[in-house]
Amino acid sequence: MKKFFLYLLLTAWCAPVHAQIPDFKEYFEVDLDAPLPNMEELKEEYIRVSEVYNPRYIVSWELGQAFDEVWRAVISYYGTSEKRIRASGEEELTDMIASLPKEVYPYIGPLLHSVPGIPEKILNMPGIKETKNKFPERIAPQLADIEDLEFLSPHLYILLMPEMWPDNNKSVEIPQPRRAKIPQTPYNPDFYAKVIKDVEESGVSNAYTGAPKPLKDKLRTLKVTKTSPLTSADVVAFVNTLDSVSNFATFNNKFKLVYAGSLLDYFEAKNGTALNLNTVKDIVNPCQRLALKIKWAGLETEFTKAIVKEGFNLKEWAYTCDKTIKAYRTTLISDGKLASLKLYKKGVYNAELMSLKEKPRNTQFAAMQGILQMYKTSRNDVTQVLKNRVELQDKLLSFGSVFVAVPLSLN
């Protein structure tokens, strides 16, 4: 009986622990019908929270002649106490160093010990503590014969690491491609008859430009939703709005949208709906996030004037835009990125990501799940975008990497 209980105990102790993978899909949803908060109160709160100390001057010659009493009180309090103001990125830096291979420590440790303000928590980490004022032992052969190398600045110690030099890394053997034997497939008239029957008159993706467009390519979607399928006419209408959208994106409007984005990020962080890297939301659904910022900035009426000629309101334009962008991204995706996304969906990276600390782990999972959402589209939407790919590409390239006030990652 004792052996049986001992067996159960060992089995439970040795069993693998399957931690739950964090899911951030709901964070990428955008509710364009959500009521706006009181913007004036939110602005005042945002300024009050984000401002540690108001210097009360803009340029140095307005500094004045008297020592600021508020600043005197601040430095007197912290200067005579044992409290330390934690740097904003302290935890991230600690987790980053802890995740590095121990072989890197001799090349970054001396630098950390020479930089003022590095927390004691980092300087006393095992492996970092022992590197104080110590010159690395492993030196890249390309630099080993340099005279007085030990007087090199710790800022450059990382260059002494042999692995930093490509010549010291073993090259990966690439197998020689072999010519595959093409199987001899007998001619099948039924197969070709089916292909001719299924392909529309204009050819695959309108290959025959001279052929008349099918009627369905001329029809717009009557009620645009997040999941309604695109039509070719929807894509054309969206493309036709881009010149007016570009004219809307004046410096003044973009400044208002950037500030509205800062308020939005603060509001979401305050309510627990923000990601560690909240910009991922903008990349996943750039147009819906842009529409939300337009509403927050009070520019909905002005923006609607730029798109109303094509029969869009703000919400319908945002939905059509995001579906078009995602389908267009899919047409540009590389084989390497596609393979990586498939591996992630299979859970290949889960064990490695779960070994990280909570904050970097959540950041990595949110980023990976965001990339999957970037390419969430349908066969129909991709087909409709392919029919108008050239016109869409020409218009989008003029915006560059930023679409009005949101990042636009296309591949």
DSSP string, 15-30: SPP-PPPP--GGGG--
Residue written as tokens 């090349």? 107
Phi, psi for 213 (deg, rounded to 5): -75, 140
Question: What does the buried/exposed string (b/e) look like for 100-121 if buried means 16 or more CB atoms within 10 Å of the residue's CB?
Answer: eeeeebbbbbbbbbeeeebeee
Confidence label for 210 from pLDDT (cuts 50, 70 and 90): low
Percent of the chain predicted with pLDDT > 90: 53
As a whole number, mean pLDDT of residues 388-409 equals 90
pLDDT of residue 49: 78
Q: Is 366 exposed, middle or buried (0-12, 13-18, 19+ CB in 10 A)?
A: buried
The span from the CA of 62 to the CA of 45, in Å, is 27
Mean pLDDT confidence for 230-242: 95
Average of pLDDT values for 134-148?
92
pLDDT for 296 equals: 96
Q: What is the pLDDT of residues 317-341, one digit of tens each?
A: 999 999 999 999 999 998 888 888 8
Query: What DSSP character marks residue 50?
Result: H
pLDDT beyond 50 at 219: yes
- Which alpha helices (H) appear in 80-169, and where do they start and end? 90-99, 105-114, 120-123
Please, what is the Cα angle at 191 between 186 and 192, to 5 degrees?
95
For residue 20, is pLDDT > 60? yes
Count of residues in the chain: 411
pTM for the whole thing? 0.69
pLDDT at 50 over 90: no
d(CA 263, CA 45): 10
Res 304 pLDDT > 80 = yes
Q: Domain locations in the chain?
A: 90-167, 213-333+375-407
DSSP for 283-300 reads: HHSHHHHHHHHHHHTT-H
Averaged pLDDT score across all residues of the chain: 85
pLDDT digits (tens, 9 = 90+) for 78-129: 666 655 556 667 888 888 888 888 999 999 999 999 988 888 889 999 999 9
Q: Cβ distance 365 to 100 under 8 Å?
A: no
- pLDDT confidence of residue 71: 75
The predicted pLDDT at position 225 comes to: 94
Which residues have C-beta within 8 Å of that of residue 72, sequence separation ≥ 6?
none
Task: Taking residues 344-354, report their average pLDDT.
Answer: 89
Band of pLDDT at residue 178, cut at 50, 70 and 90: confident
Structure confidence at residue 36 (pLDDT): 93
